[in-house]
């Protein structure tokens, strides 16, 4: 792996110019700090930056065409080249970095859709996208394959993500494109990666390619976050990556970067904290754009009953966790419809980031979310 300084910050460099909200990395100090998850977090952040670049390219192409780029899964939700390609490259990169025998992955996608006879075009597109993305891996300080991955190797990488999770072990949890409906519409989405150890989330990384870096780029009352990020991309900074490690008491935000700029990038990040607002009348509530799996009417009624009065901030996907973690909104409530089970990949990365930023995440009964029961968040108190 090329000698590139780790991406996550430590203490201010006294010789560097500072803005109030940014800190710069002291790499000599960082190298001496014993951190159980240092390598895992560093690699995960690099991978998510790379995956976001992949998604951005696919989204641009997707918005200009309609063909084999989108298929339907058995649950009728769309799956794109980006979902499958991101899962393939993250599976391959984690296995190459830590050894395939040491890596297990819980992920949303499987090979069933892409293996159908009528999905030859989709498979070809995924293989080409994986090839193009992995060719740039060395620019992110990651390993590029010695030979181009073929169809069988790509399918193997995707199918390798078949861990069932549980109370023991050390699985990675991946949602390659969280908020696929938002993605195919040019709206908000997230690349979400977490590491769980013995049922506890120990680190999380959220890539939010359409979420502006600067809080000033948001306008809760007139536009959705997606509209703001599209119209103000140049002014407010387009895209960011958030990450945190359990028990560090710190959560960080970086502007989204490309591989070409990686070596020259100043390696700075902003420490983020949840909002200090505790008056319901002043608090902003996140609200999902899609309401298929949530009891929206109950949530709206509850929000009104507890005194929330401001217009909600409409956001696709786990970007809602990003909004809470950096103080753009104060609360998010979701009450699933009867029969719907929450999956761990929809929450694990966001939960640790919000909690390390000073927030609290619980079920309706006030209990922490339990990630030790497999792929579902079982025994939730939905109220």
Annotation marks residue 83 as catalytic: yes
Nearest to 52 by CA among 185, 240, 260, 289: 240
Write down the residue that tokens 């989108």 correspond to: 70
Please give the structure tokens belonging to residue 286: 């996140």
Annotation marks residue 224 as catalytic: no
Catalytic residue among 180, 224, 284, 299: 180
Q: How many CB atoms within 10 Å of residue 299? A: 19
Q: Whole-angstrom Cα distance, residue 353 to residue 361?
A: 10
Packed helices 81-98 and 120-134: angle between N→C axes, nearest 10 degrees: 50
Please give the structure tokens belonging to residue 232: 């103000």
Largest CA distance in the chain: 60
Catalytic residue among 13, 42, 80, 83: 83
Say if residues 304 and 195 touch (Cβ distance below 8 Å): no
Nearest to 22 by CA among 321, 267, 208: 267
Instruction: List Cβ<8 Å contacts ≥24 apart for 68-74.
Output: 68/119, 68/121, 68/122, 68/125, 69/122, 69/125, 70/184, 71/113, 71/114, 71/119, 71/122, 73/113, 74/112
* b/e code 196-217 from CB counts within 10 Å (16+ = b): bbebebbbbbbbbbbbbbeeeb
Say if residues 188 and 333 touch (Cβ distance below 8 Å): no
Q: What value does the CA radius of gyration of the chain take, rounded to a whole number of Å?
A: 20
Active site residues: 83, 180
């Amino acid at each position: 792996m090329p000698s590139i300084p780790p991406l996550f910050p430590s203490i201010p460099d006294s010789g560097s110019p500072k803005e109030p909200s940014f800190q710069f990395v002291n790499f000599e100090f960082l190298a001496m700090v014993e951190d159980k998850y240092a390598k895992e977090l560093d690699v995960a952040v690099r991978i998510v930056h790379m995956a976001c670049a992949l998604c951005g390219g696919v989204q641009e192409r997707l918005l200009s065409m309609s063909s084999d780029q989108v298929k339907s899964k058995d649950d009728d939700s769309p799956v794109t080249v980006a979902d499958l390609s991101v899962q393939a490259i993250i599976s391959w990169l984690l296995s190459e970095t830590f050894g395939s025998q040491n890596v297990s992955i819980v992920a949303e996608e499987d090979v069933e859709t892409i293996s159908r006879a009528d999905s030859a075009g989709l498979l070809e597109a995924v293989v080409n996208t994986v090839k193009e993305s992995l060719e740039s891996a060395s620019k992110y300080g990651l390993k590029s394959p010695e030979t181009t991955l073929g169809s069988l190797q790509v399918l193997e990488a995707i199918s390798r993500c078949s861990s069932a999770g549980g109370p023991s072990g050390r699985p990675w949890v991946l949602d390659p494109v969280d908020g696929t409906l938002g993605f195919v519409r040019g709206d908000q989405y997230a690349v979400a990666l977490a590491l769980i150890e013995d049922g506890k989330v120990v680190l999380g990384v959220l890539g939010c390619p359409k979420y502006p870096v600067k809080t000033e780029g948001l306008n809760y009352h007139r536009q959705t976050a997606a509209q703001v990020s599209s119209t103000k991309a140049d002014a407010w900074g387009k895209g960011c990556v958030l990450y945190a490690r359990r028990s560090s008491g710190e959560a960080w935000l970086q502007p989204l970067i490309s591989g070409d700029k990686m070596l020259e990038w100043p390696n700075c990040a902003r420490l983020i904290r949840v909002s200090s607002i505790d008056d319901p009348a002043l608090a902003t509530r996140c609200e999902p754009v899609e309401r298929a799996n949530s009891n929206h009417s109950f949530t709206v009624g509850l929000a009104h009953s507890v005194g929330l009065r401001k217009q909600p901030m409409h956001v696709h996907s786990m970007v809602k966790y990003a909004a809470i973690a950096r103080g753009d909104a104060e609360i998010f409530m979701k009450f699933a419809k009867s029969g719907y089970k929450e999956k761990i990949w929809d929450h694990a990365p966001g939960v640790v980031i919000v909690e390390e930023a000073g927030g609290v995440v619980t079920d309706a009964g006030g209990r922490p979310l339990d990630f030790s029961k497999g792929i579902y968040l079982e025994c939730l108190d939905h109220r």
